[in-house]
A = this chain, B = another copy of it.
Amino acid sequence: MLPETLQPLLTVMDLVAVAVFAVTGAIVASRKEMDIVGFLWLGTITGIGGGTVRDLLLGVPVFWMREPIYVVTAIMVSIAVYFTAHLAQSRYRVLLWLDAVGLAMVTVVGTAKGLDAGAGPVNAIVMGVITASLGGIIRDILGHEPSIILRREIYVTASLVGALVYVAAIGMGADRAFAAAFGFAVAFVIRGLAMTYAWSLPTYRSRPGAPPRNEG
């Protein structure tokens, strides 16, 4: 599969991820009982924030400046959530699963863009993780919610492993479509399993080799 033929797929994935992240931003706005403009701000910044920072770091044009479709998508999604979020029976579960899809998608897209822009493997992985988590971090700061990096669950980890898998697959000569599908699947499965079984990484206090609590 030629890189050119993959481009539309990456664009579609980017668009789906923007929409999905915008939903998570707008749902936070609904929990905070914001007005429609709050929905627009939080939906849009969550949808495009991670990719924006990635592009600024890479020194390439910001992806949504050339094509208004991304911002328009985020705006329409935010408005739709404003009027329909009450229909969702279990907002929180929906939020989490949508977020897992978006997480896996933008991890792959972000890592791929990093490699394309000439970043080495380490920085490409950092680009994937930034794209996947920075929108959510900004969302949580603006919505005054505990940040995803403070919560003790497997979130950024899923993105980190997915990005690693993508870079490793490319490094071993896999074609981009396979590497993308593999990286997506790994990130999504890790996040999904972590949610289902409430997995978490050991925290500082409970890490291997930590002294007993009363010595700390």
A interface residues with partner B (beta carbon < 8 Å): 29-30, 32-42, 44, 52, 56-59, 61-62, 64-65, 68, 71-72, 82-83, 85-86, 119-123, 126, 133, 137, 141-144, 146-147, 149-150, 152, 155-157, 160, 200-205, 207, 209-211, 215-216
Contact = CB atoms under 8 A, between A and B. Distances in A.
Tallying the copies of this chain within the complex gives 3
B141 A65 contact: no
Contacts of A149: 34, 37-38, 41-42, 142
Contacts of A35: 152, 200-204
B82 A41 contact: no
A161 to B, nearest CB: 10
Contact of A205 (B33, B39, B57, B152): B33
Contacts of A36: 201-202, 207
Contacts of A57: 52, 56, 62, 65
